[in-house]
Structure 1
């Protein structure tokens, strides 16, 4: 029967061909309906598992690697797929492509064993004992993923005990990201690091990099000079190399008396030839000559008060946009504009549920966010929590909650240790027995005030204002806190008060020319500038924008008009950098609609000119944000581009 069937097929080839064509046509018709391609997500995992199973069973090996006398069997295709080095070895016209045994020089057996294990399993267990072996071999055989894994592991292990060793590895294997992070770590703890034996274990190149890299440091420039001098003296550094180290010291940040004392001490230590004293004096003279040449032409970031920063190394004064509303809605994001970068970048985010109407202040160079409100199911909740952000360390820290839950209040920094919170809207806790609470009510403007001590992390009540108010403005000048405008029971206020911290009393001053709410006060050179805001038109009983910048002379107790804003807006962020006042975002008002804007305006108090620079524009529409100015690190790996939102 079988033979007969075969003979029938052989004798009817045309009939067989017709059947095949019919089946092919049927399949073509069936699968021409855009059926999805079959993709098995676990296929790559199964393939890797199968290759490892072959390895464990000693099957189909086609190459043996010999390293330090040890042999390692493998499959060429696996090695070539993971390593550019092995791919070139096995696919190019190299002698090793034809060899079954290959001796590898310049690598270690421990590292190659771990890399082969990784190639077949995708798993790599790194520790302090094997990471250098793995890094050495992975660099040699060009396994980029493993090199990155080693770099990330070393980054996670940086501490004072091993930072120099890690810096050496970063230099040796050209790991630029690891190098930057290691030296940033050393600089951020330079004072503590300088007390360890590793200071003298640094090579000259390493110390020269630390002094020239412009990363933020945790000590004064006087201490930086002492560290450089100590290194020179104790290592007996040659004069030409010492000269290069001293050239990186910023003598303009060291007081003359401190320099004199340091030089006197150094003369006692270096009595023979006074080489280092002469070098330092030469650098001081050169610096003084440069200062004379630059007089009157210094940039905004050249001079930084030591009251604000311990050291200006690596820091740049930035405009900082805090929270507010953007096209996508309420945001806790904080962005900064660095003049050296020329664009807005993401800095950090408030570590709390999305909120608004909080108090913001910059004390020293730390940003404080206190109180505020957030919505749950369209109901507003007011909270007392506070947060402190250190831009140098890029760290947030909780501070003691303010005693009265409040929002829409003023928060201002005074000196180097105090915050003042005034008024706002408060939700009274029935069990709260602190302060002047006689007239408090839920969601009502209040007059009470609190002071925060940054050293003790405690709030205390102060004498209350005689007027309740919220949505007002506050500013500090010398030892006085000034409060203006705001709202009380839907009435926009015109009054100006000051709190004298020496006598702890409120003093009423001359009222503003125009009532204002949701405005900002800026203090510069014994003058206070009232910017932005709105008032109620007495004729139409509608909101009107305050179009002028009014200026108060604290010595004469009088107001005058500084300028008229060519583009006034509701809810704009305002801050001053030197003698320039910046306005960001806000709502442009028309007869029918309020339209958000991305614009950043600038008013120069010296030239009396307004300017609108396209480069300053925020990437998305923004309103009800706070604008501040403080110093942030000029270089950070985790700066995030602020994307344009549509």
Structure 2
């Protein structure tokens, strides 16, 4: 049966919405079953939804129209009800993307009422990560909800430095991936890299709580490393997976919606605009839309279910592009013009992108940060200079409302408050030399010391 393409009027409470049937069929299991059932309602020009809030339906239509509204308390409650009743996966995903310290308790409660397990799980994970900050509000939760939250592991801050492939007969004790033990204030070993793996100019990311390593070079021969590697956190084991169709190094690797994206990079000293997509479920690589221009070591961040990259231009200009996976296209979001010397990274928190860059060439150890708000479409410069006595901060990850930044001598933690970063704690630096990859990972409780399990 060909899906309908005409419009239908949907009455919700006292409001009427004129909606394309095709959009409803593609995104709502409820409407798909309704329109493909052959029942009388299939031919009706108007459908009435009993007992659903119009406000929630309106939010659903905004999300299906590729808008990403920031929701208040009432909108969250109504949207959760619509997502559960109409079985709208994109709306559930949007709710997950917008979980914050301000609404995580509400999200968990509402998801529990309507049985949205994906939202229950995501809310509980977020609460586990910000447990101390929301402790006073936990009294609103049931005992079962509290038990479920406490059964989860918090995200650990994980780092690995530059390593080339190692001969199998050599014992290279530094070829380790480590996590920050925040209680004992030291970096503990999580796992050792496979002998053939390289983190030198490789792409490293986390997808579905597993570590992926793609590309890179052998530091001795400068040859591109073709094998790709995955670390399964639950099984504590490594495996190889298919190599890129176009091997390269100095690429950026990011994960989204069950797929890896290998962005840009270099091959034979040529900077590339190539982007390849790896579907984990089918173990296959395919080419996606190329970057608007070649880029190596591209800064990348994910937030609100979206992928963003920074591409440099001469004259101190950085363009921020978004990759829109549904249409397989790159769209220019904004442009930043600031005096800067070399290198930067980008992290994201809710609807804010933070671009971290060095200061002017005569004082490049300063770390300057600019913030772009996706909702307001505005740039602001964060006050102050984010720097320590040992050098600039260029490796960072965000857990809840806390930013972790690390170098060899020091790990600095900041609390994000009203788009500003406020220094919170200092922890041990990562005791390895070389460029670092840092990310968050949920370690199984049986891998953690007892003191860190609660």
With normalisation by structure 2, the TM-score equals 0.59
Q: How many residues align?
A: 311
Q: Corresponding residue for 1:511?
A: 335
Match of 1:386 among 228, 234, 250: 228
Check the 8 A contact 1:318/1:336 in 2, yes or no. yes
Alignment partner of 1:370 is 2:214? yes
1: CA distance, partners of 2:247 / 2:159: 24
Counterpart residue number, 2:244: 402
In the TM superposition, 1:308-347 aligns within 5 A as 313=151, 315-324=153-162, 331-347=174-190
Which is richer in helix?
1
Q: Distance in 1 between matches of 2:393 and 2:370?
A: 17
Is residue 450 from structure 1 mapped to residue 271 from structure 2 by the alignment? no
Q: Does 1:494 align with 2:301?
A: no
Asked whether the equivalents of residues 571 and 625 of structure 1 are also in contact (C-alpha less than 8 Å), the reply is no
Q: 5+ residue gaps in structure 1?
A: 1-250, 261-292, 305-309, 427-441, 586-596, 640-646
The structural deviation recorded for 1:552 is 1.0
Q: How does 1:134-533 map to 2 (within 5 A)?
A: 255-256=112-113, 294-296=135-137, 313=151, 315-324=153-162, 331-351=174-194, 352-376=196-220, 379-415=221-257, 417-426=258-267, 442-485=268-311, 494-514=318-338, 517-531=342-356, 533=357
How far 1:411 sits from its partner (Å)? 1.1
Distance in 2 between residues matched to 1:623 and 1:324, nearest whole Å: 5
For residue 626 of structure 1, report the CA deviation from its aligned partner.
0.7
- When the two chains are superposed, the root-mean-square deviation of aligned CA atoms in Å is 3.9
Hey, what does 1:550 align to over in structure 2? 370
2: distance between equivalents of 1:492 and 1:342?
A: 39
Larger Rg: 1
- What is the distance in 1 between the residues matched to 2:110 and 2:288? 37
Answer whether contact 2:304 2:350 (CA < 8 A) is retained. no
**Which of 387, 401, 407 in structure 2 is aligned with 1:566?**
387
User: Are 1:620 and 2:431 counterparts?
Assistant: yes
Deviations 1:480-532 (Å, cap 9, x if unpaired)? 321104589xx97622211111221111232223357542211211111112x
Residue 446 of structure 2 corresponds to residue 631 of structure 1: no
What SS is found at the alignment partner of 1:393? Answer: coil
The Cα of 1:448 is off from its aligned counterpart by: 1.0
Using a 3 Å threshold, how does the CA distance of structure 1 residues 444 and 330 change in structure 2: closer, same or farther?
Answer: farther
TM-score, length basis structure 1: 0.43
Kept in 2, the 8 Å contact 1:366–1:389? The answer is yes
1:610 equivalent in alignment to 2:431? no
Distance 1:420 1:312 in 2: 33
Say if 1:546 and 1:459 are closer, same or farther in 2 by CA, change over 3 A: farther
Cα distance per residue 1:239-282 (max 9 Å; x no partner): xxxxxxxxxxxx9999445699xxxxxxxxxxxxxxxxxxxxxx
**2:343–2:358 contact (8 Å) kept in structure 1:** yes
Q: Deviations over 1:567-606 (max 9, x none)?
A: 2835742111111111111xxxxxxxxxxx4211122112
Answer 1 or 2: which has greater strand percent: 2
Asked if structure 2 preserves the Cα contact closer than 8 Å seen for 1:487 and 1:517, the reply is no
> Counterparts of 1:259 and 1:480 in 2: how far apart (Å)?
22
